[in-house]
């Protein structure tokens, strides 16, 4: 059971991506070597051009991963590669998971590391939006399972008994002015994003849902806060409200615009 959220290490995700790039380089090398004679028989020089294409693809992938590492370290980086960064993550992550499994690293740990990296990239971009253009989405499991009051889509149905964090978030939304919605799954969450058309999203969820959600809403900037699961996954979960408030204060533009 999860009694607290452990701080994931950002370098773990980056390290697994680099290892995945090395495996990909070996795979590309093998493909080129196997196909060399056949390509040369088709057209002289075709094998060399194919090799150049593979090498260029690998170098670009390495550039994207190194660029991500520079951003994480607080060093100058190429912000124009944001889109390519998420595309590379989608491509390499399944391979990184397999490599991690061979090394005894759980998928959940890698996903948590990705969220830490993504949140840092969000912060490096200096994104701040008016409170009424920020959407906060949480999973329905944040509400107690035995609560009779349906709060999906309309959290204001919450009676604010204080037994779960829904009341805390409703109160905070009224205090700070952001949109707060509760979703039953990824499909509904994406629908809510389309309907509210925010400039940024703050999502509370488990590692798996946050990782897929952050990538699904791109290029809309999103920051993730991990939930706590003292009763196991998807049942009577909790969230650190101090962490939520801290994340909100970093994203919401002050009323004076400074």
The reply to whether omega before 219 is within 30° of 0 (cis) is yes
Q: Residue 5 pLDDT > 80, yes or no?
A: no
162: CATH: 3.40.50
Q: What is the per-residue pLDDT for 187? A: 81
pLDDT digits (tens, 9 = 90+) for 121-160: 999 989 999 999 999 999 999 999 999 998 987 899 999 9
Burial state string for 173-204 with b = 16 or more CB within 10 A and e = fewer than 16 = beebebbbbbbeeeebbeebbeeeebbbbbbb
Handedness of CA 157, 139, 137, 188 (dihedral sign): negative
Domain boundary (101, 124, 147) is at: 124
| pLDDT score for 186 | 78
Residues in CB range of 107: below 8 A, 6 or more apart = 97, 100, 101, 208
Token pair of 109 as six digits: 């740990």
Give residue 6's pLDDT. 57
> Over 70: is that where the pLDDT of 3 sits?
no
pLDDT digits over 8-56, tens only?
A: 678 899 999 999 999 999 999 999 999 998 998 998 899 999 999 999 9
**Whole-number mean pLDDT of the chain?**
91
Residue 257 has pLDDT above 80, yes or no: no
Domain range for 196: 131-251
Count of beta carbons in the 10 Å neighbourhood of residue 150 = 12
Same domain assignment for residues 101 and 148: no
Nearest of 213, 236, 235, 240 to residue 224 by alpha carbon? 213
pTM, 2 dp? 0.86
**DSSP codes joined into one string, 122-181:** HHHTT--B-GGGEEEEEEGGGS-TT--S--SS-GGG----SSSTHHHHHHHHHHH--EEE
In this prediction, residue 1 carries a pLDDT of 42
The domain tally of the chain equals 2
Q: Does 258 map to a domain? A: no
> Do 62 and 112 share a domain, yes or no?
yes
Name residue 204's beta-bridge partners: 225
The pLDDT of 69-87, averaged and rounded, is: 89
User: Do 119 and 202 belong to one domain?
Assistant: no
Final residue in a domain of this structure, among 67, 96, 124: 124
Is residue 250 scored above 90 in pLDDT? yes
Q: Say what percent of the chain tops pLDDT 70.
A: 96
Domain shared by 120 and 201, yes or no: no
Q: List the structure tokens of 153.
A: 């889509």
Domain boundary among 93, 124, 155: 124
Q: Do the domain assignments include residue 1?
A: no
pLDDT at 54: 94
State residue 7's pLDDT score. Answer: 64
pLDDT 10s digits, 99-123? 999 999 999 999 999 999 999 999 9
Confidence of residue 258 (pLDDT cuts 50, 70, 90): low
């Amino acid at each position: 059971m999860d009694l607290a959220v452990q701080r994931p290490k950002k370098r773990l995700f980056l390290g697994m991506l680099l290892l995945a790039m090395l495996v990909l380089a070996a795979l590309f090398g093998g493909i080129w070597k196997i196909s060399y004679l056949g390509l040369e028989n088709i057209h002289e020089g075709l094998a060399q051009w194919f090799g150049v294409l593979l090498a260029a693809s690998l170098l670009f992938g390495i550039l994207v991963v190194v660029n991500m590492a520079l951003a994480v370290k607080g060093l100058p980086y190429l912000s124009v590669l944001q889109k390519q960064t998420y595309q590379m993550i989608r491509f390499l992550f399944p391979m990184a998971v397999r490599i991690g499994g061979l090394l005894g690293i759980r998928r959940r740990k890698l996903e948590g590391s990705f969220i830490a990296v993504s949140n840092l990239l969000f912060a490096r971009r200096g994104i701040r939006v008016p409170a009424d253009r920020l959407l906060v989405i949480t999973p329905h499991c944040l509400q107690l399972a035995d609560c009779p009051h349906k709060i999906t889509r309309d959290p204001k149905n919450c009676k604010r008994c204080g037994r779960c964090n829904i009341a805390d978030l409703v109160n905070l939304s009224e205090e700070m002015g952001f949109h707060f919605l509760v979703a039953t799954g990824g499909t509904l969450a994406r629908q809510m994003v389309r309907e509210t058309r925010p400039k940024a999203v703050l999502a509370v969820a488990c590692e798996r849902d946050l990782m897929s959600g952050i990538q699904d809403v791109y290029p809309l900037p999103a920051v993730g806060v991990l939930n706590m699961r003292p009763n196991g996954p998807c049942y009577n979960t909790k969230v650190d409200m101090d962490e939520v408030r801290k994340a909100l204060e970093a994203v919401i533009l002050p009323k004076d615009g400074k």
